[in-house]
């Protein structure tokens, strides 16, 4: 259904083993720099660096392309939008279907600026996602004092996401085998049934999980997540890295 898996890449890569809190901090700092950047160089640098690291970690190229497909598509749209509608200085004109469509210089520059920003930001977050497990990421967010309630429900969501995805696929194929998607109206109805079945499943599952957890002493809050102590070397490395990138960003 989606290019979405729990497959972890580069389990032995130093980046995977880096403290998730430092990874999150560095990623968010760099993300802020990328999106507040008005030039081209820095986002491009971030994109190349993070893309390279992803490949270095052994993320299959195909998966990487799939991950970038949607944002890059949007980036292209933004460039075209800006190219044709923003600016004064004509760059070229195309004659299509009796219409003159003019591309503008400022629009192109503006659009490319946004497109570069998108690539940089997406590769940063992709690298974070590929090198960090969801549990680690939530642990890091909890350390940064994101409310516990949000962390807890995110953990439940992640755990049961795959159970529900599998269920959805089973129901979908069962419906398809019986021509549930032959014809538009029937397809829509089948789809509604599928979604409804998932909601019912969510209710029943949550009830059972709660019972099972109460049996094991659940009183409304999950035990605190534990973090291993910061390693000074990693902290210094991360801070230096962010600082260096900050200096490059200022240039």
Partner 1 sequence: MRDKTRLSAEIDSFRYPDGTVALADIRLDVAKGEFCGVLGANGSGKTTLLRIMDGLIKDFAGKVLLDGEEVRKLHPRDIYRKMGLVFQSPDDQLFAHTVFEDVAFGPRNMGFAEGEVAERVRSALASVEMTEFGGKDIHALSYGQKKRVCIAGLLAMGHGILLLDEPTAGLDPMGEYRMMELLTRLNRENGVTIVMATHSVDLVPLFLHRLVILSRGRVVRGGPPEEVLTAPDEMAHVKLRLPHIAELIWRLKHEDRLPFLRVPLTIGEARREIVETLGGENQ
Partner 2 sequence: MVRLMVTTLLLFLASPAYAMHISEGILPFDWAVLWFAVAAPFVALGVKRLNGLAKDDLAMKPLVGLMAAVVFVISCMPIPVPTAGTCSHPCGTGIAAILVGPLVSVLVAAVALLIQAIFLAHGGLSTLGADIVSMGVAGSFAGWLVFRGARKAGANLAVAGFLAGVAADWLTYAVTSVELASAIRGNEPFLPLFGKILIAFVPTQLPLGILEGAMTAGMVVLLQRKRPDLLVRMRVTKGGNGVAAMLFVLLLAATILTSSPSLAADKWAGVDEAVVEKVAREHGREARRPLIDLGEGDLQLFAFLLAGTAGGFAAGYYWRMLVSEKRPAGRG
| Binding interface with partner 1 (CB under 8 A) | 6, 133-135, 155-156, 158-160, 162-163, 205, 208-209, 211-219, 222-223, 226
Of 99, 121, 136, 156, which is closest to residue 43 (Cα–Cα)? 121
Among 20, 26, 29, 245, which residue interacts with partner 2 (rule: CB under 8 A)?
Answer: 29
Does 152 bind partner 2 (CB under 8 A)? Our answer is yes
Quick one: what does residue 118 bind among partner 2, partner 1, none, with the CB cut-off 5 to 8 Å set by partner type? partner 2
152 closest CA partner among 204, 227, 206, 216 = 206
Strands (E), 75-180: 90-96, 99-104
Min dist CB 75 to partner 2, Å, is 8
Distance CA 30, CA 24 (A): 10
Does position 35 interact with partner 2 (CB under 8 A)? The reply is: yes
Q: How many binding residues for partner 2 (CB under 8 A)?
A: 97
By C-beta, is 205 or 237 nearer to partner 2? 205
49 binds, among partner 2, partner 1, none (CB under 5 to 8 A by kind): none
Asked whether position 179 contacts partner 2 by CB under 8 A, the answer is: no
Q: Where are the beta strands (DSSP E) in the chain?
A: 90-96, 99-104
Q: Which is nearer to partner 2, 193 or 244 (CB)?
A: 193
Pick the closer one to partner 2 by CB: 19 or 138. Answer: 138
Q: Does residue number 144 form part of the binding site for partner 2 (CB under 8 A)?
A: yes
CA distance 23 to 143: 13
| Minimum CB distance to partner 1, residue 203 (Å) | 12
The answer to whether the beta carbons of residues 248 and 45 sit under 8 Å apart is yes
d(CA 56, CA 50): 10
Residue 199 makes contact with partner 2 by CB under 8 A: yes
Between 19 and 111, name the residue whose CB sits nearer to partner 2: 111
Buried b (16+ CB within 10 A) or exposed e, 117-138: bbbbbbbbbbbbbbbbeeebbb
Lay out the site mask for partner 2 across 63-92 (x = CB under 8 A, - = otherwise): ----xx-xx-xxx-xx-xxx-xxx------
> How far is residue 93 from each of residues 43, 122, 242, measured CA to CA in Å?
29, 32, 44
**100-119 positions binding partner 2, by CB under 8 A:** 100-101, 110, 114, 117-119
């Amino acid at each position: 259904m989606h290019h979405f898996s729990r497959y972890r890449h580069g389990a032995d890569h130093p980046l995977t083993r880096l403290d998730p809190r430092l990874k999150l901090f560095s990623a968010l700092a760099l993300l802020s720099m990328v999106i507040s950047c008005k030039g081209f160089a820095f986002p491009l640098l971030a994109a190349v660096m993070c893309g390279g690291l992803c490949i270095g970690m052994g993320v299959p190229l195909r998966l990487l392309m799939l991950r970038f497909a949607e944002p890059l598509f949007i980036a292209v749209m933004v460039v075209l939008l800006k190219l044709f509608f923003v600016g004064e200085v004509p760059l070229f004109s195309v004659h299509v279907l009796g219409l003159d469509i003019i591309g503008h210089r400022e629009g192109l520059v503006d659009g490319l600026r946004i497109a570069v920003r998108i690539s940089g930001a997406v590769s940063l977050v992709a690298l974070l996602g590929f090198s960090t497990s969801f549990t680690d990421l939530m642990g890091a967010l909890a350390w940064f004092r994101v409310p516990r309630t949000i962390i807890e429900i995110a953990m439940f969501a992640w755990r049961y996401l795959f159970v529900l995805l599998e269920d959805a696929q089973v129901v979908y194929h069962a419906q398809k085998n019986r021509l549930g998607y032959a014809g538009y109206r029937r397809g829509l109805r089948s789809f509604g049934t599928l979604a409804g079945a998932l909601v019912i499943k969510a209710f029943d599952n949550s009830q059972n999980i709660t019972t099972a957890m109460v049996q094991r002493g659940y009183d409304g809050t999950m035990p605190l997540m534990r973090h291993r102590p910061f390693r000074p070397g990693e902290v210094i490395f991360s801070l230096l890295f962010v600082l260096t990138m900050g200096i490059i960003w200022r240039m």
